Amino acid sequence: MSEPAPSAQTRRDEVLVRIRGLRFRRGERVIFDGVDMDIRRGQVTAVMGPSGTGKTTLLRLIGGQLRPEAGTVEVDGQDVHRLGRRALYALRRRMGMLFQSGALLTDLDVFENVAFPLREHTRLPERMIRDLVLMKLEAVGLRGARRLMPAELSGGMARRVALARAIALDPMMVMYDEPFTGQDPISMGVLLQLIRLLNDALGLTSIVVSHDVQETAAIADYIYVIAGGRVVEHGPPEALARSPSPWVQQFMQGLPDGPVPFHYPAPDYAADLLEGVP
C-alpha cells in the first residue's frame, strides 16, 4: 500500500528552506553569527531588519551565490553549498529572484526579457514561448508594454517585468530583494498585491526581504527580524506587534529613538565643541 497523501495542513507546514547555524563574514565584519530559519512552503515569509544587516546577503546565500563560513542552507532538502555546479543550476531553475534594481537585460525589450529564461532552458516552439510570455506579462499587468525597452520603464514597471521573468519557469519559490524601495504608493500597492496573489495563485513560496515594515507585515504570514547578525525575533505579524522587546517595538513602529540610538556613537557633545576653542 502506498503512503497516504499528506493532508493540506501537513504540506503547508513543510519547510522549504531550512537554515541552521549560518555564519558569514565580509572581511573582518561578521554579517551572520549563527542564524537559524525555517521558510515554510506556500507562505510569504518576510525577513526584516535595519539597513546593512545583510538581508540581501541572506538571499544570495540561499541562492548559492555566496558560501557561508559555517552552517547549512537546505532548499527543498538539498544542501545548497554542497551541490555541484550542474545540480546548483538545476536547483536555481526552480527559484526565482527579484533583484532590487530589477536586473533586466538592458539590450532586450520587455518581451525578450521575460522570454530569456524560457529560451535559455527550454526548446519550446516560438508560438508557445509567445503564449507563455504573454501569460506572465498579463499576470503582472504589463502585456501591453511588451515592446518597451527597460530604459523606458518606470521603477515599478521594471520590477513587475522582473517579477514576470522570475516566474517564467514556474519556480517553486521566489525571493524578493527590497521590492518596495523607492516606489510610489500606487506601485507599492500593486507590488504588494502581486506578491500575495501570485504566491497563492501559483502555489509559490515567497521570501520578501524588506525594511518597509508596515507594508511587508500586511502581506506576510511569518516574519523574521534580523539585527546584529542574529535573528532577534520571529513569528506571525500579530505576534511580533505584541513583542515585549523594546528593540522590536522601535523597529516595527519606526520610532526615531530607543534601544537603537538616534546618535552615532560620539564623544561628549559639549567637550567636542569646546575642543575647537583655542
Partner 1 sequence: MTAWLQRLGRRGIGFFERLGRGHLFLLRVLAALPAALARPRLLVAQLHAVGVRTLLIIGVSGLFVGMVLGLQGYNTLVDFGAEESLGVVVALSLVRELGPVVSALLFAGRAGSALTAEIGLMKATEQLSGMEMMAVDPLERVVAPRFVAGLVAMPLLAAIFSVVGVYGGWFVGVGLLGVDDGAFWSQMQAQVDLHDDVYNGVVKSLVFGFVASWIALFEGYDAVPTSEGVGRATTRTVVHTALAVLGLDFVLTALMFE
Minimum distance from residue 158 beta carbon to partner 1 (Å): 11
Q: Which is nearer to partner 1, 110 or 231 (CB)?
A: 110
Burial class (CB in 10 A: 0-12, 13-18, 19+), 262: exposed
CA distance 257 to 68: 33
Minimum distance from residue 133 beta carbon to partner 1 (Å): 14
Residues in contact with partner 1 by CB under 8 A are 60, 63, 65, 89-90, 92-93, 95, 97, 99-101, 103-106, 116-117, 120-121, 162, 165
Q: Are strands 15-26 and 230-235 parallel, antiparallel or unpaired?
A: unpaired
Q: Which is nearer to partner 1, 156 or 237 (CB)?
A: 156
Minimum distance from residue 74 beta carbon to partner 1 (Å): 18
Contact 166, 195 (CB under 8 A): no
Q: Which grid coordinates belong to 24?
A: 558569514
Burial class (CB in 10 A: 0-12, 13-18, 19+), 175: buried
Give the up-direction half-sphere exposure of residue 261: CA atoms within 13 A in the CB hemisphere: 4
Minimum distance from residue 61 beta carbon to partner 1 (Å): 12
Q: Which is nearer to partner 1, 26 or 121 (CB)?
A: 121
- How many residues make up the chain in this entry? 278
Q: Which is nearer to partner 1, 103 or 202 (CB)?
A: 103
Minimum distance from residue 93 beta carbon to partner 1 (Å): 5
3-state secondary structure of 166: helix
Minimum distance from residue 121 beta carbon to partner 1 (Å): 7
Q: Which is nearer to partner 1, 90 or 197 (CB)?
A: 90
Q: Of the candidates 162, 251, 173, 238, which has an alpha carbon nearest to the alpha carbon of residue 205?
A: 173
Minimum distance from residue 97 beta carbon to partner 1 (Å): 4
Q: Of the candidates 16, 5, 78, 76, which has an alpha carbon nearest to the alpha carbon of residue 42?
A: 16
Q: Which is nearer to partner 1, 9 or 106 (CB)?
A: 106
Q: Which is nearer to partner 1, 72 or 122 (CB)?
A: 122
Minimum distance from residue 109 beta carbon to partner 1 (Å): 15
Q: Which is nearer to partner 1, 204 or 248 (CB)?
A: 204
- Bridge partners of 73? 19
Torsion of CA 5, 9, 10, 14, to 10 degrees: 120
Q: Of the candidates 7, 72, 4, 65, which has an alpha carbon nearest to the alpha carbon of residue 38?
A: 72
Strands (E), 69-182: 70-75, 78-79, 95-98, 173-177
